[in-house]
Amino acid sequence: MTEPLLFTPLSIRDVTLRNRVVVPPMHQYSAVKGFPTDWHTVNAGKFAAGGAGLVIVESTKVERRGCGTIGDLGIWDDAFVVPLKRITDFIKQQNAVPGIQLGHSGRKARASRPWEGGGPLRHTPEIEAEVTDWDAWTPVAPSAIAHSDKWPVPRALERGEVKDLVQAWGEAARRAHAAGFEVLELHGAHGYLVHEFLSELSNQRTDEYGGSEPNRMRFLIEVTEAVRARWPETKPLFVRLSVEDHAGWGPESSARLAKILKARGVDVIDCSSGGITDQAPILGNEIKYSYQVPLSDHVRKHADIMTMAVGLIIHGDQAEEILQNGKADLIAVGREILNNPNWAMDAALKLGDGSVFRNVPPQFGYWLGVRARRGFGTKPSTWQIGLEETRKVL
């Protein structure tokens, strides 16, 4: 049997992913003053042990002001390197590749956790027990324009601060390398700081960082250059974009930007959408399977760069079809891998991959292999045929 493309290794620069299954960055709200806890190792570790090729740790903030909520991971100081290394060591022990997303929440900083409302954090006496630096956490943005009526007006960054921030991203990349990460992703999507520079809605600066499209792209381009200067040539660099933000920035601009980024050493565009307004939420327009795949397809074809598809990719055959049709090079499985951390192993079984349990540790892979060979007429509890069969019963 020919191996499904999903389980064909992919080499980018000097890093080889054992398969094309990626765990996208997913915030865990579990850090303490920016430091990772056991939760982060266990969470990332279970996906690595479950067979994914690349596990990308959540948006980790390049400066304190950039934290979205209480519990964000930080990388703004060298003190974060050793605790983060514990995560990368464990992921590598499972033969998966550890990645990390660098981020800054911009005008959407200082928010409450999603299950507590998700809007701006209220300054209450109870909060003061947890947040001892409320003023230092004041949201900043390219311009003093609020995300929406319910959000505070951010402070516009001074030109010198923008330059400092570019360097902060570079320093964060240096620390990510020291912590043992092998793939770095820059968060340029979802209405956070980088995206706020790209969008005309949130960027009305009159200096070289605002106005024309090339000026609005300048911050991300300078960040990319600062990062590439400190992130080894041998290691891949990804950028996540809201390829379509439903508020003026779309696939054509994204493809133009992707070409520029490729020339600056970016290897993969991770194709997401939305987030710059409440009307275009990050996870809001998800009315169908693979809803963001056309964005990946567009960037891949028009910018001649590798892409990662993400968004309601749930079934193995669905993922395989996207790769076979040349619409992406990597498949990110987000919430479904929260549902089934062994998704990669499960998908391999359903796609008839010859060496299903190769990617999982023998501690459980051996026993599942024996059960699969002997059969006993049983199927795993997750068993169903795939997307087509699911559609018949929807």
- Is residue 209 part of the annotated active site? The answer reads no
Please report, as residue ranges, which positions from 181 to 200 form the binding site for ligand FMN (by CB under 6 A): 187, 189-190
> What is the distance, to the nearest Å, from the Cα of residue 99 to the centroid of all Cα atoms in its chain?
9
The beta strand positions in the chain, using DSSP E, are 10-12, 15-17, 21-23, 54-61, 73-74, 97-103, 140-141, 155-156, 183-188, 237-244, 268-273, 306-310, 330-332
Q: Distances in Å between the alpha carbon of 330 and those of 268, 271, 302, 344?
A: 9, 11, 17, 13
Binding residues with ligand FMN: total (CB under 6 A): 21
Q: How far is the CB of 25 from ligand FMN (least distance, A)?
A: 4
Alpha-carbon distance of 254 to 271, in angstroms, equals: 9
Choose the catalytic residue: 29, 192, 291, 366: 192
The yes or no reply on residue 245 touching ligand FMN (CB under 6 A) is no
Which residue, 205 or 261, has its beta carbon nearer to ligand FMN?
261
The yes or no reply on residue 274 touching ligand FMN (CB under 6 A) is no
Which residue, 88 or 210, has its beta carbon nearer to ligand FMN?
88
| Binding region for ligand FMN (CB under 6 A) out of 139-147, 161-169, 229-237, 306-314 | 306-314
The yes or no reply on residue 104 touching ligand FMN (CB under 6 A) is no
Query: What's the one-letter identity of residue 54?
Result: L
Q: Distances in Å between the alpha carbon of 24 and those of 134, 331, 339?
A: 30, 9, 14
Alpha-carbon distance of 18 to 47, in angstroms, equals: 14
Contact (Cβ atoms closer than 8 angstroms) between residue 30 and residue 101? no
Q: Name which of 24, 20, 99 is nearest 282 in CA terms.
A: 24
The yes or no reply on residue 106 touching ligand FMN (CB under 6 A) is no
Q: How far is the CB of 244 from ligand FMN (least distance, A)?
A: 14
Which residue, 183 or 357, has its beta carbon nearer to ligand FMN?
183
Tell me the per-residue interface mask from 323 to 342 with ligand FMN, x by CB under 6 A, - otherwise: ----------xxxx------
The yes or no reply on residue 273 touching ligand FMN (CB under 6 A) is no
Which residue, 101 or 296, has its beta carbon nearer to ligand FMN?
101
Residues at the interface with ligand FMN (CB under 6 A)? 24-27, 58-59, 101, 187, 189-190, 240, 272, 283, 310-313, 333-336
- Residues annotated as part of the active site: 192
